[in-house]
Amino acid sequence: MKRQNGIAAILIIVLFILLAGCLGPRESPEPGTVKVGVLFPMSGNLASNGKDCTNGVILAVEDVNADGGISSLGGILLEPVFADTKSNPADGINATRRLIKEDGVVAIIGAYQSSTTTAATQEAEQYEIPFIVSVGIADVITERGFRYTFRILPSASQYGSDEVRFLADLKEMTGDDIKRVALIYEHTDFGTSSSLAQKAAMKKYGMTLATEVSYDASKVRDLKSEISRVLASHPDAILATSYNEDFILIMQAMARAKSKIPIINTAGGGTALSEYARRLGPDAEGTMTVAKYSLYVPGARELNERFHNRFGTNITGDSAYSYQSVMVLADALERAGTTDHIILRDALARTDMHKSSRMILPAEHIRFDNEGQNEDTPLFIAQIQGTDYVPVWPQKYVVSSPRTEVRRGA
């Protein structure tokens, strides 16, 4: 009896197969999507910066999809899957895990804060999922021997070195002879990594550390006493490593003190966002920052016009690098011809993107070294002059001379 039941079951299966064949050919399924994790602070005190980054991703995804998607995968489209770090590392880790285990993303782009990026990339490494760092400069991010972490933007060491080079060049540009430099910085990986790089560069250029003051950016509501300590050290210039909210507090304290000492903010800290100038008003005048992108580089105006039409704001360095990260991933997917995470990782490692419609950065190429760090990462010093945000260094990109004697709080 058991044998007869088995034969009957086989006959039924065969019958179903024959019937399926008689139904004729079916339409081929529509191309699916490749899910891409987008990990930024979407709530908390860095939400405006996170929105700026996600907008860059959205525009890039729309451009890739409008251009036919990933042709080597049959025109499959990119699908961004957004996750909120809530501006802290613990939530960044949890969000990374959800993107990988529940959403099935093939790669992640993020994550703005260095401390969150450090934690999130470690989580992604454990699952062997590629993580493209669009924003997050701490040196440690690419110094741990990870195979699945790729950083598009410069490291803290380059930021620190270029800031101090600019201070050294001021003597020829404006007559300012910078000898004593004070540091003020938030105390996570972002600030501490930057301060170490700044001090190393200062030593190289024969500058003296006047003082260094650190603070907890998540808790401060006023930085008057910290700026008083900085100014009491009589520096010739100040290097500040901060996020948007705390840099506004720094500049408000500088205005109250009516200080004319040149101050430079590391990595922007949101100074390119319209919110910064709106909240500070006239005291935003003369703000100098290290910038990784400028509207004055070739092709930037056209990209900014599309960005502005889409989101109502100008593109910044953060949104530009987030846009570029999507293009790097799309390029790797084309060359990989698969979404397999190991093959995709190897394709990213072999990236050699030159000037093209998908290369929007002011660089000759994007190419990663053995640690996953992009090798060609130009930086500018930009300054708010009137209603414009103009490059004042290096000479190759200068639009206007730097103004170092700017009275605030008059």
In this predicted structure, the answer to whether residue 10 has a pLDDT above a threshold of 60 is no
Amino acid 332: pLDDT: 97
Tell me the per-residue pLDDT of 204-217, one tens digit each, with 9 for 90 and over: 999 999 999 999 99
Amino acid 2: pLDDT: 41
Instruction: Supply angle C-alpha 267, 270, 272, rounded to 5.
Output: 95
Averaged over 84-89, what is the pLDDT?
Answer: 95
In this predicted structure, the answer to whether residue 31 has a pLDDT above a threshold of 60 is no
Q: Please report which confidence band the pLDDT of residue 408 belongs to, taking 50, 70 and 90 as the band edges.
A: low
Amino acid 63: pLDDT: 97
Amino acid 409: pLDDT: 64
Averaged over 102-111, what is the pLDDT?
Answer: 98
Amino acid 356: pLDDT: 67
Amino acid 13: pLDDT: 40
Amino acid 387: pLDDT: 82
How far is residue 272's CA from residue 318's CA, in Å, rounded to a whole number?
9
Q: Please report which confidence band the pLDDT of residue 275 belongs to, taking 50, 70 and 90 as the band edges.
A: confident
Q: Please report which confidence band the pLDDT of residue 267 belongs to, taking 50, 70 and 90 as the band edges.
A: confident
Amino acid at 225: S
Q: Please report which confidence band the pLDDT of residue 407 belongs to, taking 50, 70 and 90 as the band edges.
A: low
Averaged over 270-288, what is the pLDDT?
Answer: 86
Tell me the per-residue pLDDT of 323-377, one tens digit each, with 9 for 90 and over: 999 999 999 999 999 999 999 999 999 999 987 668 999 888 999 999 999 999 9
How high is the mean pLDDT of the chain?
90
CB atoms within 10 A of CB 47: 15
Amino acid 124: pLDDT: 98
User: 252-287 b/e with 16+ CB inside 10 Å = b?
Assistant: bbbbebebebbbbbbbbbbbbbebbbeebeebbbbb
Amino acid 127: pLDDT: 98
In this predicted structure, the answer to whether residue 107 has a pLDDT above a threshold of 60 is yes
Report the DSSP beta bridge partners of residue 290: 381
Amino acid 32: pLDDT: 83
In this predicted structure, the answer to whether residue 52 has a pLDDT above a threshold of 90 is yes
Copy the structure tokens of residue 95.
Answer: 């969000």
How far apart, in Å, are the Cα atoms of 62 and each of 55, 59, 330?
A: 11, 5, 12
Amino acid 25: pLDDT: 33
Look at residues 249, 118, 250, 136 and name the one whose alpha carbon lies nearest to residue 183.
250
In this predicted structure, the answer to whether residue 5 has a pLDDT above a threshold of 80 is no
| Window from 82-86, 241-245, 355-359 with minimum mean pLDDT | 355-359
Averaged over 154-177, what is the pLDDT?
Answer: 94
In this predicted structure, the answer to whether residue 293 has a pLDDT above a threshold of 70 is yes
3-state secondary structure of 300: helix
Q: Can you list the domains of the chain with their CATH numbers? A: 33-154+297-367 (3.40.50.2300), 157-291+380-397 (3.40.50.2300)
Averaged over 254-258, what is the pLDDT?
Answer: 94
Q: Rounded to two decimals, what is the model's pTM?
A: 0.87
Q: Please report which confidence band the pLDDT of residue 22 belongs to, taking 50, 70 and 90 as the band edges.
A: very low
Amino acid 336: pLDDT: 98
In this predicted structure, the answer to whether residue 15 has a pLDDT above a threshold of 50 is no
Tell me the per-residue pLDDT of 175-196, one tens digit each, with 9 for 90 and over: 999 999 999 999 999 999 999 9
